[in-house]
């Protein structure tokens, strides 16, 4: 028998009253958050403000350096001259040049002798020190140091030997006394002998540990000396190679093409132990402009690399003095008591203003006024959240 099928409409699921109130609460909270964000975008926390920075026009320069130890014989150019790459600008005194080369060779020889001394064993140094002819001061220092180290090691070894001998005598005496005593006394004396042996052996082990530590310290010192001497010899070898080339070509050439500036009239007897910059060569490359200003760390939180700022240059007439600048770098520049941040900007003026900037003499310095836009509450919250994320 087939049962009749009843096509009844589906029942509707009713939403509980608690769910309806929850949906309304979520909807109201969303509206409240959107309204708060819109209101925060209108609230100005920090007004528009202006800070003072510095601006400098720089032409790429190359230093003209006299190597250390060389004596200038003659300067072939004058300040303001235009020089070509490879042009001779300074002549060196060849007699002083050969004298300095001989000095470098003697320094290399002395350090090689000292390196050989530090690489030898103490016994070899002591034997050679007694029969060797006069040696450089560095070798004498090595020999004296190794003799003192050897003396300190021998003192510890003698102390160790003395303690071992004392241990053997004390134990032997107690054992000998125990042979002719009653059984109870013999046990006590043998126990004392064992305690005496253990006590003195403990002292011997401490001395041996101190001796091993001293020898390790000496070996580490020798290694430091050999490493330092090898580095000094390598540096002197480079100087010797450069000086040998100078003996063939005893002059200084211009490294690049450009105009000489700040040429020093070096005295004839100028020969120092360090390189000396005698002039600068201003190249034909495009001028660069270094512009920067300082702000507090709290204000720097709201700045971002690539952000555009309005800059007013003091050295240009209005309205050409108002140009845009893009933030290139933001770095800390201050102590912990008054932290400040240095902001470096790249100027992006129109072509007409750029031509005026390039016409400025090299080294021209001026001040600039940087206008920082007002900070809204949303900017403050965004900067704080970004700083918080970077800290993690």
DSSP run (H or E) holding 210: helix 183-248
Q: Does the pLDDT value for residue 224 go beyond 90?
A: yes
Q: Could you give the CA distance from residue 153 to residue 109 in angstroms, rounded to a whole number?
A: 31
Residue 288 in tokens: 């660069």
By percentage, how much of the chain surpasses pLDDT 70?
A: 78
pLDDT of the residue at 129: 45
pLDDT of the residue at 307: 86
Average pLDDT of the residues in 308-313: 85
* Banded pLDDT at 105 (limits 50, 70, 90): very high
Does residue 47 contact residue 388 with C-beta atoms inside 8 Å? Answer: no
pLDDT of the residue at 387: 55
- pLDDT, tens digit, for every residue of 134-161? 557 888 889 899 999 999 999 988 988 8
**313, burial (CB in 10 Å: exposed 0-12, middle 13-18, buried 19+):** buried
Q: Does the pLDDT value for residue 366 go beyond 90?
A: no
- pLDDT, tens digit, for every residue of 323-359? 888 888 888 765 555 578 888 888 877 777 777 777 7
Residue 175 in tokens: 């054992």
In angstroms, the Cα distances linking 274 to 90, 225, 256, 258 are 17, 24, 23, 25
Average pLDDT of the residues in 150-176: 85
Pairing status of strand 322-332 against strand 88-92: unpaired
What phi, psi does 245 have (nearest 5°)? -70, -35
Four-point Cα dihedral 28, 30, 31, 32, nearest 10:
90
Task: Tell the residue number behind the tokens 């009749």, with chain if given.
Answer: 4
Does residue 56 contact residue 292 with C-beta atoms inside 8 Å? Answer: no
Average pLDDT of every residue of the chain? 79
- pLDDT, tens digit, for every residue of 269-284? 455 567 888 888 888 7
- pLDDT, tens digit, for every residue of 289-299? 778 888 887 77
pLDDT of the residue at 130: 46
Q: Does the pLDDT value for residue 237 go beyond 90?
A: yes
pLDDT of the residue at 1: 47
Cis peptide upstream of residue 347 (ω within 30 degrees of 0): no
pLDDT of the residue at 263: 86
pLDDT of the residue at 83: 92
pLDDT of the residue at 127: 44
Best-predicted range by mean pLDDT (44-53, 266-275, 375-384): 44-53
Average pLDDT of the residues in 120-135: 54
Q: Nearest CA to 296 among 94, 79, 51?
A: 51
* Banded pLDDT at 287 (limits 50, 70, 90): confident
Higher model confidence: residue 252 or residue 303?
Answer: 252
């Amino acid at each position: 028998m087939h049962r009749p099928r009843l096509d009844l409409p589906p029942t509707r699921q009713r939403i509980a009253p608690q769910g309806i109130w929850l949906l309304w609460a979520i909807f109201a909270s969303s509206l409240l958050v959107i309204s708060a964000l819109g209101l925060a975008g209108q609230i100005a926390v920090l007004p528009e403000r202006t800070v003072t920075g510095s601006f400098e026009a720089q032409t790429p320069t190359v230093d003209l350096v006299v190597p250390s130890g060389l004596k200038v014989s003659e300067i072939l150019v004058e300040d303001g001259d235009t020089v070509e790459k490879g042009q001779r600008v300074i002549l060196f005194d060849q007699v002083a040049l050969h004298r300095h080369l001989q000095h470098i060779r003697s320094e290399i020889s002395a350090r090689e002798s000292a390196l050989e001394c530090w690489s030898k064993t103490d016994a070899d140094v002591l034997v050679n020190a007694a029969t060797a002819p006069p040696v450089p001061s560095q070798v004498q220092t090595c020999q004296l140091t190794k003799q003192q180290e050897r003396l300190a090691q021998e003192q510890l070894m003698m102390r160790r030997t003395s303690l071992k001998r004392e241990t053997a005598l004390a134990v032997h005496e107690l054992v000998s006394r125990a042979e002719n005593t009653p059984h109870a006394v013999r046990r006590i004396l043998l126990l004392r002998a064992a305690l005496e042996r253990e006590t003195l052996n403990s002292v011997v082990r401490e001395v041996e540990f101190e001796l091993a530590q001293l020898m390790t310290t000496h070996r580490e010192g020798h290694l430091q000396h050999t490493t330092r001497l090898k580095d000094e010899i390598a540096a002197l070898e480079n100087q010797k190679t450069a000086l040998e080339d100078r003996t063939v070509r005893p002059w200084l050439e211009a490294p690049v093409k450009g105009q000489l500036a700040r040429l020093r009239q070096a005295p004839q007897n100028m020969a120092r132990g360090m390189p000396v910059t005698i002039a600068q060569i201003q190249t034909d490359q495009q001028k660069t402009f270094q512009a920067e200003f300082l702000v507090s760390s709290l204000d720097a939180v709201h700045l971002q690399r690539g952000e555009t700022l309005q800059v007013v240059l003091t050295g240009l007439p209005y309205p050409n003095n108002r140009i845009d600048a893009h933030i290139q770098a933001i770095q800390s520049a201050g102590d912990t008591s008054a932290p400040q941040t240095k902001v470096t900007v790249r100027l992006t003026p129109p072509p007409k203003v750029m031509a005026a900037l390039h016409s400025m003499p090299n080294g021209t310095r001026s001040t600039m006024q940087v206008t920082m836009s007002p900070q809204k509450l949303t900017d403050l919250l965004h900067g704080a959240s970004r700083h918080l994320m970077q800290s993690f």
